[in-house]
Amino acid sequence: AQTVTQSQPEMSVQEAETVTLSCTYDTSESDYYLFWYKQPPSRQMILVIRQEAYKQQNATENRFSVNFQKAAKSFSLKISDSQLGDAAMYFCAYKDEYGNKLVFGAGTILRVKS
């Protein structure tokens, strides 16, 4: 079974600085999809960024980018120019090529200091 591990329970970053959240996963599949979701306090979960495993190019969405290392099964999220609104729980998630359920990591709480 696929597993997703987020080894950082909590991270802090100064406003306007850059922070990287780590994620590793375990799978025997060659084609799959990886996601980062953001869950603000008491608010609903939203998709931040996604990556197809067959694409070598790292995905970017404005201030958010990923470092996808397929051989190492690593998928980190970099947030540049951090803003107070980035404070939230961030979940890394995996989905296989057959489109079955999302498998989530335990999450990383990101705190942004002004």
What minimum distance in Å lies between the beta carbon of 60 and another protein? 15
Applying CB under 8 A, which of residues 8, 45, 58, 70 lies at the interface with another protein?
45
Applying CB under 8 A, which of residues 36, 51, 66, 77 lies at the interface with another protein?
51
By CB under 8 A, which span of 22-30, 46-54, 60-68, 78-86 interacts with another protein?
46-54
Applying CB under 8 A, which of residues 46, 81, 111, 113 lies at the interface with another protein?
46
Q: How do 108-113 and 10-14 pair as beta strands? A: parallel
Residues 11, 108: Cα–Cα separation, whole Å: 7
Collapsing DSSP to helix, strand or coil, 36 comes out as strand
For residue 105, give every residue at least 6 positions away whose Cβ sits within 8 Å of its Cβ, in sequence order, or none.
Answer: 4, 5, 6, 23, 91, 92, 93
By CB under 8 A, which span of 13-21, 37-45, 69-77, 80-88 interacts with another protein?
37-45
